[in-house]
Each structure stands twice: as C-alpha cells, then as structure tokens.
C-alpha cells in the first residue's frame, strides 16, 4: 500500500504543475527566500504575521511615502527611492502596468508589490480629518481556533487548560494613515478565565499607530516594534536571512510598527514617535515598560529571559511576568541626495539582576547585570549603481560590533553584494537582531558575497557564499570554530509558469561524540519546484533532498503536490486547496520543511522527519465583501513510530489530525 501511494504521488507530481493566486504569492516569496535556520527562528513567524497584516491592509502607492514603502522588506533602498521619484515626476499611476516603467523593479518584485498596494484614483493630501477616519474607517474582527482530534499526555495530567488554541483580533484602520486594534491569544493547554489568566486570554496586545501627520511622521501607542539601522542596537522586529539579504541589498530598517501579532516576546510597550525636525532630518524617541517572563535562580536573579510565551503548566506559569523591563532611547537620522547617517542610543533596566548560568562555557559572555546602554552610528549612500551602508555599535559591555554592506550594479542584469560583520565576543544588546550565522550579534566575524543575475526578463539566478568564524566556544562547539555556507538558486517564469531550482551546501565545525575535538558537519539540501497559475485552478509541485554527514550519515527526501480551485457565485467567491506530501528521512538531522497554504496570520511551514505522509484540505468562502469563512483540516501519518512527540506533548498514536477554523467580519 505504501509503495502504491508513493508511486501515485510521484506520477501526480510529474503530470501537474502550478502557481498559487496573487494573495498567496508573498508567502511563496518567504518559501523561496527562507533557509532551514530561518524557518526555525521565531522572527520568521513574526515576519509572516507582519506581511499578512500588510497584505490585508494595502496602501495607495500614489500617496505612499518613503517610510510607507520601507515597510516592505523585499524592496531595496534604490527601489524605494525610484518608486517615490516616479510618482512625484510623472504623477499618479493609472494602472499597475506602469510599474514596468521603473527600471530597477524586476518582474518578480512588481508581482510581489501588487500584493501590498492598490492604485488610488484620488490623492488625499496630508493626514485625513478625524471625522473622516471615524466615519469611513474599516472595522475587522477575526476569530481563529485550532481543534486537535487527539490527546496529549499533558491534557490528562500536566496542562492547566484545555487542548484548544484560539485567538481573537479586532482591527480598525483608515488606509495607511491610522490603525488601532486589540489581539487576544491562547495557546493549547493554557487556562482561559482561570488560574492567573483571570481576564480571559493568556496574552493581549493593544496598539494604535498614526502616520504622516505633517511633521509627525509616525506616532505609536500601546505595544509596538522598533527597528533602526541594521539592528545592532535595536531591532524588535524580524530579520531576513541570507537570501533575503540579496533581495533588499542590506537596506536599513528605520521604522516603528504596531505589534499586532500573537507573538509574546520582542515588543515594546509605551509610546514612540518620529518627527521631521528639518528637511531630511528625522528624530525618533521611544519609551517602554513591561513585564517579561523569566526563569529565576535560587538567589532570585534572572537566569534566562523566556520568549516562548508558553504558560501551560505550573512551572511555566511560575515564569510569567515575574520580572519587568524599562527601555528608552532615540534615533536621529539624516537623508539627503542619496547620503544617510544616523545615531541610535538606548538605555534599559531590569528590576532584577540578570545572571545567566555560566556552567556552559559558551555563555560566559552573555549579558549580565541590570543596567545596560548601547549606542551606534549608521551611515550609507544610495546611488544609481553603487549602494553602501553600515552600522557600528558599542555599549556598557565595552566592546564593538560592526556590520557593513556594499552592493554594485555593473550592468542592469547583474548585482553584486558584499557584507562584512564583526561582533566581539563581549558585545551584547538586549534588543539586537541582525545578520549572522550563529543567530546572535555576538562572537562572530565573517564575510558574505552574493550575486543576482537576470540574463533575461523572467529568468533570475541568485548565489551567495558566506564564511563565519567564532573565536569563542559556542553551542555544540567547545572551542573556536568555523562555518561555510554556499547556495545557488534559479527561478524561471515563462508565462504563467514558474520553475525553481536550489542547491545549498553548508559546512560547520561541531563537537565529536566525546567532545575531544571538532569535526566538520556537512549538509546538502536541494529543491526542485514547478508552478502554474490558471484562471480557475493552479497547482504547485515540489521535491526536496537532504543529506547530512558527520560521524553518521543522514539522508531524507520529500515530494509534495498542492492543487487549488477557485470560482465565484453571485457577489461571493470561493476557493479550495488540497495537498499531499510523502517524506522519508533517516533522522532529525535530515529534517525537511515545506510550505502549506493556511489561514490568515498562520505560520505555514511545518517540519517533518522520519517516514510518513502529510495531507490536508482547505476551503474558503467569501459570502460577501464583509463576511468570510475559512477551514483547514490536515493529517500527518507516520509509518515509523507508534507515538509522536515526548513528555507532555506525547501523543500515543501514529497519526495526528487538526482542524482550523477562521471567521472574518468586516464592517
């Protein structure tokens, strides 16, 4: 039966190829620009939620400012400037086809841009009147629930709540000028209106953001995210990976954004504002105070700041809000004739001393104490062919961190890029998040070389090579170590087709079995995908290979097929999608990820290892422009085990099935 199933799946994959519809295209972008480490980073989930929010509330490109366009992470600094200059010079766009006249925008960038913008017929000058905002603003309520058809060990003994995950979102917005909302979220196993969650949900986020109010460019109240320069000092937002770096060419991220996510970490709470002091000179100030989750040691000091947001057991609940954190700071930025420079300064304080456990040598230089300051300068130039940018930071740690990027376009079809970084082993910032191989802005130096070649209009080839050196021991490497990472990717888009190929080789030094020496761990990963987008149906076929070798060898492969149908009835429309995937890996080292269509704001990149099959069905009905219903049911069936998971998460069965339901109401 298993052989027959595999054969049918392969035949299906070879005979039907496709591309998903426009609203799904930006999620394909994440799939194409993500590596294994990206998918396993919580920031990647934050990026997906942010892009979901932007796609649900597109802005008018004819009135968009530089700051508005900078919210889109795939645009380079040059592309942002060219879009603003084009609208200013030639007047409002009448159709999306005019984007082809902006030479710096590739075909794929234009297709991505259409997911987040619309072409407005009339331009509204300045900030709209508040009476118009209240009268014409849009209210949206989204309720989502996930229902498991299985029982975990903790559901009977261990978890404080029931096994259902659900959240409720309310958003009010008027274009890109004003947005406010409230989010309530509950993880499976957490108590609801019980225990320490007396007010209902385990997590709430409330926010309000106004933009383009004359000299007041941005005002954020409640819970928000802040990102400046390259994130060496302050970045509570997401960080693109190595392929994403090629996509936006290392563009600076100077912005304030609402925290409209269910993520329970890496946000600020209070107020922030960006003001135009003079032409080209902006000043941002922010202040934040909030409770944080922390693991305390026997002396009552903070051993670990927790960011997973789980409060399912008595032990996890004991970590909730048992410390507080204050943070304040400023950023000054100047931009004129392609040149930009900035200064960032922050101060943060914890109400308890941070004292990480240093029994593991790689934690010796982790942040400690309760008062921290950091400061940095950023700089750069954006020209027609050459773009440079960088940031250099220090702080109370007394150490240095610097990141510098250079991109050069010798001809229209080719872009070359280099990224240099040096992060001292003694440098730290509680709010830093930037380009790295080791996942931290600490204990790393390296050089990244990348290239983009577009030999014809719908053919793009990307490649990079990244070398990193870690002078101090790190996790799973008990002495100084090295890492090499190489990748090549090709995307061909003839007509409605889209064919992609990718190969990646990653080498890094890690401990041998008895930790007496370092050995090289080599990982090979390959992907072949093909898509076709029709007017009423589309499909996506993908095959992946994974091979890992240290002392042991691990091999894995997966083949998947997704099919979508769509149509209309009366004033409504509907769509249905289904997928089947077979995976077979030797162990966790050869694990694989695949993209799945999912509910809005959901993280749709599940991971698989072992042997099994994954299949799901998703249906969406837009009954009108105001009401929609989406449901997805999916099953993962393992052939190589009788239990799934471990500890409280263990399921005493070889298959798990989940139902997700989402209702959206717009007023």
Q: Kindly tell me if the per-residue pLDDT of 660 is higher than 80.
A: yes
* Integer Cα distance of 341 and 281 in angstroms: 10
Sign (positive or negative) of CA dihedral 474, 475, 479, 481: negative
Q: Kindly tell me if the per-residue pLDDT of 447 is higher than 80.
A: yes
Average pLDDT for residues 123-150, to the nearest whole number? Answer: 89
Q: How far is CA 84 from CA 60, 63, 77, 211, 610, in A?
A: 12, 9, 11, 17, 50
Which of 59, 528, 65, 504 is closest to 241 using CA atoms?
Answer: 504
Q: 6: pLDDT confidence band, cut at 50, 70 and 90?
A: very low
Give the position of tokens 């249905």: 576
Q: What is the pLDDT of residue 123?
A: 57
Say if residues 73 and 44 touch (Cβ distance below 8 Å): no
Which of 464, 348, 329, 345 is closest to 394 using CA atoms?
Answer: 345
Segment among 180-194, 500-514, 559-573 with least mean pLDDT: 559-573
Give the position of tokens 């200013």: 88
Phi/psi of residue 573, nearest 5 degrees: -145, 160
Q: What is the pLDDT of residue 103?
A: 86
Say if residues 647 and 655 touch (Cβ distance below 8 Å): no
> pLDDT by residue (tens digit) across 11-66?
333 333 333 344 566 777 777 776 666 666 666 677 777 888 888 888 888 888 88
> pLDDT by residue (tens digit) across 393-408?
999 999 999 999 999 9
Q: Which has more confidence, 40 or 549?
A: 549
Segment among 250-254, 614-618, 648-652 with least mean pLDDT: 250-254
Structural tokens at position 302: 């903070």
What does pTM read for this prediction? 0.90
Average pLDDT for residues 285-298, to the nearest whole number? Answer: 96
Q: How far is CA 111 from CA 29, 74, 116, in A?
A: 10, 12, 10
Say if residues 431 and 327 touch (Cβ distance below 8 Å): yes
Share of the chain above pLDDT 90, in %: 66
Average pLDDT for residues 130-151, to the nearest whole number? Answer: 94
Say if residues 448 and 245 touch (Cβ distance below 8 Å): yes
Segment among 214-223, 357-366, 419-428 with least mean pLDDT: 357-366
> pLDDT by residue (tens digit) across 586-595?
999 999 988 8
Say if residues 123 and 66 touch (Cβ distance below 8 Å): no
Q: What is the pLDDT of residue 15?
A: 34
Segment among 368-372, 482-486, 534-538, 630-634 with least mean pLDDT: 534-538
Structural tokens at position 396: 């109370």
Residue 460 CB contacts under 8 Å (≥ 6 apart), including other chains: 106, 108, 452, 453, 454, 490, 491, 492
* Integer Cα distance of 600 and 227 in angstroms: 25
Q: What is the pLDDT of residue 72?
A: 87
Which of 398, 387, 389, 395 is closest to 421 using CA atoms?
Answer: 389
* Integer Cα distance of 533 and 496 in angstroms: 5
Which of 487, 440, 434, 445 is closest to 468 using CA atoms?
Answer: 445
Say if residues 272 and 226 touch (Cβ distance below 8 Å): yes
Q: 311: pLDDT confidence band, cut at 50, 70 and 90?
A: very high
Phi/psi of residue 344, nearest 5 degrees: -120, 135
Q: Kindly tell me if the per-residue pLDDT of 152 is higher than 90.
A: yes
The crossing angle, in degrees rounded to 10, of helices 42-56 and 22-33 is 160
Q: What is the pLDDT of residue 43?
A: 67
Sign (positive or negative) of CA dihedral 432, 357, 398, 329: positive
Q: 324: pLDDT confidence band, cut at 50, 70 and 90?
A: very high
Provide Rg for the chain, Cα atoms: 25
Q: What is the pLDDT of residue 405?
A: 95
**What DSSP character marks residue 101?**
G
The beta strands (E) that lie in 11-156 are given as: 59-60, 117-118, 138-148
């Amino acid at each position: 039966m298993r052989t027959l199933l595999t054969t049918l799946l392969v035949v299906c994959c070879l005979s039907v190829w496709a591309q998903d519809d426009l609203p799904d295209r930006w999620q394909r972008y994440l799939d194409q620009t993500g590596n294994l480490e990206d998918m396993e980073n919580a920031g990647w989930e934050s990026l997906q939620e942010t892009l979901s929010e932007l796609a649900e509330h597109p802005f008018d490109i004819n009135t968009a400012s530089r700051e508005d366009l900078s919210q889109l992470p795939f645009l380079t600094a040059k592309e942002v400037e060219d879009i603003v200059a084009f609208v200013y010079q030639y007047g409002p766009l009448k159709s999306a086809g005019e984007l082809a006249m902006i030479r710096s925008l590739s075909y794929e960038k234009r297709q991505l841009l259409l997911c987040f913008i619309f072409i407005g017929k009339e331009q509204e000058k300045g900030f709209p009147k508040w009476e118009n905002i209240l009268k014409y603003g849009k209210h949206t309520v989204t309720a989502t629930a996930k229902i498991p058809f299985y029982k975990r060990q903790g559901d009977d003994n261990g978890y404080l709540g029931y096994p259902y995950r659900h959240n409720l979102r309310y958003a009010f917005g008027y274009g890109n000028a004003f947005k406010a909302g409230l989010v309530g979220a509950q993880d499976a196993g957490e108590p609801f209106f019980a225990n320490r969650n007396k007010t209902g949900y385990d997590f709430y986020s409330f926010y309000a953001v106004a933009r383009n109010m004359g000299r007041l460019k941005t005002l954020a109240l409640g819970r928000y995210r802040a990102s400046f320069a390259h994130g060496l000092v302050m970045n509570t937002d997401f960080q693109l990976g190595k392929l994403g770096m090629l996509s936006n060419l290392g563009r600076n991220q100077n912005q304030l954004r609402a925290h409209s996510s269910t993520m329970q970490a890496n946000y600020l709470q209070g107020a922030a504002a960006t003001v135009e002091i003079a032409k080209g000179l902006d000043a941002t100030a922010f202040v934040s105070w909030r409770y944080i989750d922390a693991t305390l040691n026997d002396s009552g000091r903070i051993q670990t700041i927790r960011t997973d947001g789980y409060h399912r057991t008595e032990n996890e609940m004991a970590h909730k809000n048992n410390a507080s954190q204050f943070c304040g700071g400023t950023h000054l930025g100047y931009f004129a004739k392609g040149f930009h420079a900035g200064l960032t300064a922050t101060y943060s304080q914890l109400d308890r001393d941070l004292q990480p456990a240093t029994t593991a040598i790689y934690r010796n230089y982790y942040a400690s104490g309760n008062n921290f300051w950091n400061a940095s300068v950023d700089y750069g130039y954006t020209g027609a062919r050459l773009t440079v940018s960088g940031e250099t930071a220090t702080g109370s740690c007394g150490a240095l961190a610097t990141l510098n990027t250079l991109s050069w376009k010798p001809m229209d079809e080719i872009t070359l890029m280099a990224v240099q970084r040096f992060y001292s082993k003694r440098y730290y910032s509680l709010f830093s998040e930037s380009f790295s191989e080791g996942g931290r802005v600490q204990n790393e130096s390296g050089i990244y070389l990348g290239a983009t070649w577009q030999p014809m209009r719908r053919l793009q080839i990307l490649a990079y090579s990244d070398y990193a050196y870690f002078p101090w021991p790190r996790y799973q490497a008990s002495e100084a170590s090295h890492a090499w990472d190489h990748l090549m990717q090709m995307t061909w888009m003839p007509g409605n087709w889209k064919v992609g190929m990718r190969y990646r080789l990653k080498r890094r030094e890690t401990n041998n079995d008895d930790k007496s020496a370092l050995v090289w761990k080599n990982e090979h990963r390959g992907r072949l995908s093909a898509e076709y987008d029709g007017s009423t149906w589309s499909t996506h076929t993908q095959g992946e290979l994974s091979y890992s070798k240290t002392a042991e060898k691990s091999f894995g492969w997966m083949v998947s097929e997704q099919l979508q149908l769509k149509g209309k009835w009366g004033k409504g429309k509907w769509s249905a999608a289904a997928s089947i995937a077979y995976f077979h890996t030797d162990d966790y080292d050869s694990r694989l990820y695949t993209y799945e269509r999912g509910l809005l704001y959901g993280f749709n990149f599940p991971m698989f290892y072992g042997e099994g099959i994954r299949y799901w069905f998703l249906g969406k009905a837009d009954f009108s422009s105001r009401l929609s219903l989406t449901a997805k049911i999916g099953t993962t069936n393992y052939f190589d085990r009788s239990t799934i998971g471990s500890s409280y998460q263990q399921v005493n069965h070889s298959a798990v099935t989940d139902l997700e339901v989402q209702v959206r109401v717009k007023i």
